[in-house]
Amino acid sequence: MAARILRIRLPLVFVAIFGMVASGDATLGTGKDLDPNSSADWLGVIAGDEAGSEIELAAEMAELFATDSPFRVVPVPGDSGLNNISRLLHDPHIDAGFVSTDVLADSETQSSVPNLAASLQVVARLCPQEVHVLAQAGIDSLADLAGKKVNFGTDGGSSAVTARTLFRALNIEVEPVALDGRAAIEQLTQGAIAASVFVGAKPMPVIAGIPANQGLHLLPVAFGAGLEAVYLPTGFDHDDYPNLIEMETEIPSVATGVALLAAASKDDPGHADRVAQLVDTLFSHFGELKKDGRHPKWREINLAASLPGWTRAPAAEAWLAQHEDARKGTQAKIEAGAVQSNLPVSQNQRDVLFEQYIEWQRAKGH
């Protein structure tokens, strides 16, 4: 399979407002305030790091809305973590966002945001997010990182929460640092840190773009040794990262989950309508996102999948009720690229496994 060329396809109309909304510095008001020269109603979808997969997924969602549509979506860089949760709840420019299920289940998140499950609703449960541990030459295992500097990602972000959980489960003590994706790659190549943890849908642009001669490689994360109760098994191969992985080579890893969420209510009378329009366009045209040239993770998403312990947004529930075939049809793949020897054979068993994993996260926290 030819390697897919990754790029962030942000429509030009977004560029002028992108930085303003990303920083949260825009004048507060309704979605229409994002572009005072436009009569369109805007909806901000906060995603992940600018170098990650979630911002690309959000940009591809935005492309479903025609340039002459009265309703537009702007993808906003975020952290898929606590910052996204805060802006979902309080920023009038953000109506929907990506949040890691690790972050939702994390005990620190639950203590810092009381009644979180009542404050946020599920628009769609998205794809598993693979855990990438990128390391310098000479580091051959996670155990080799003991006592060394390892980037966990920005504080409160999805990578930081997952990295903390991962190393705690493996009883490996490292010296965490907090860098964004591009800064982490720079620090790795300079030898300032030993490794960096990235959590995102493979292939991640920031990793796929690393030249073969950079001296960096992905470490194996074996499913087991305390991880079987926390994560799902998965892996990487040459098709995912041709610059880093030789042909016919598999590198085992683990995965967590991510969901597209919206606030249950806001002090903005247009919020519910904007979310409803997002749902109608996204769900009705979801097939467009599964075509060649789009991020391959769209092909793994089942819009009817639930997130145990969380309420589905009314607009999503209503759309699914009106399109019963979406509930009864063939299940989309949920765990992509998984190490086959570690996964059940049938898709139904894989779906059940993922449901049990999400339920475990909700009940236990970590």
Residue-wise pLDDT tens digits, 99-151: 999 999 887 777 788 889 999 999 999 988 999 999 999 999 999 999 999 99
Please state which of the four CATH numbers 2.60.40.10, 3.40.1440.10, 3.40.190.10, 3.30.930.10 is assigned to the domain occupying 12-128+258-364.
3.40.190.10
Q: Sort 248 into a burial class: Cβ within 10 Å, 0-12 / 13-18 / 19+.
A: exposed
d(CA 84, CA 113): 12
Cα torsion 358, 359, 360, 363 to 10°: value is 130
d(CA 200, CA 180): 13
Whether pLDDT at 40 is above 70 = no
Q: What is the DSSP string of 50-101?
A: TTSHHHHHHHHHHTTS-TT-SEEEEEE---SSHHHHHHHHH-TTEEEEEEEH
Q: Are 332 and 300 in contact (CB under 8 A)?
A: yes
Choose between 2 and 359: higher pLDDT: 359
Whether pLDDT at 2 is above 60 = no
Q: What is the DSSP letter of 246?
A: -
Q: Are 302 and 128 in contact (CB under 8 A)?
A: no
Amino acid identity for residue 189 in this structure = T
Mean pLDDT of 278-300: 93
Q: What is the DSSP string of 282-320?
A: HHHTHHHHTSTTS-GGGGG--TT---TTSPBPHHHHHHH
Alpha helix segments (H runs only) across the chain: 12-23, 53-62, 82-90, 101-105, 107-112, 116-119, 158-169, 181-190, 205-208, 271-284, 286-289, 314-322, 324-328, 347-364
Please give the pLDDT value at position 68.
62
Whether pLDDT at 24 is above 50 = no
Percent share of the chain, pLDDT over 70: 77
- Of 361, 363, 281, 364, which Cα lies nearest the Cα of 100? 361
What is the rounded end-to-end Cα distance, in angstroms, of the chain?
38
Considering only CA atoms, give the Rg of the chain. 20
Q: Are 241 and 133 in contact (CB under 8 A)?
A: no
Q: How confident is the model at residue 335 (pLDDT cuts 50, 70, 90)?
A: very low
Mean pLDDT of 4-9: 42
Looking at the chain, the domain(s) classified CATH 3.40.190.10 span 12-128+258-364, 129-256
d(CA 302, CA 337): 16
Residues 6+ apart with CB under 8 A from 270: 30, 31, 41
**What integer best gives the mean pLDDT of the chain?**
81
Chain-centroid distance of CA 124 in Å reads 12
Whether pLDDT at 337 is above 70 = no
Task: Domain 129-256: give its CATH code.
Answer: 3.40.190.10
Q: How confident is the model at residue 343 (pLDDT cuts 50, 70, 90)?
A: very low
> Each residue of 62-91: pLDDT tens digit?
999 876 677 788 899 999 999 999 999 999
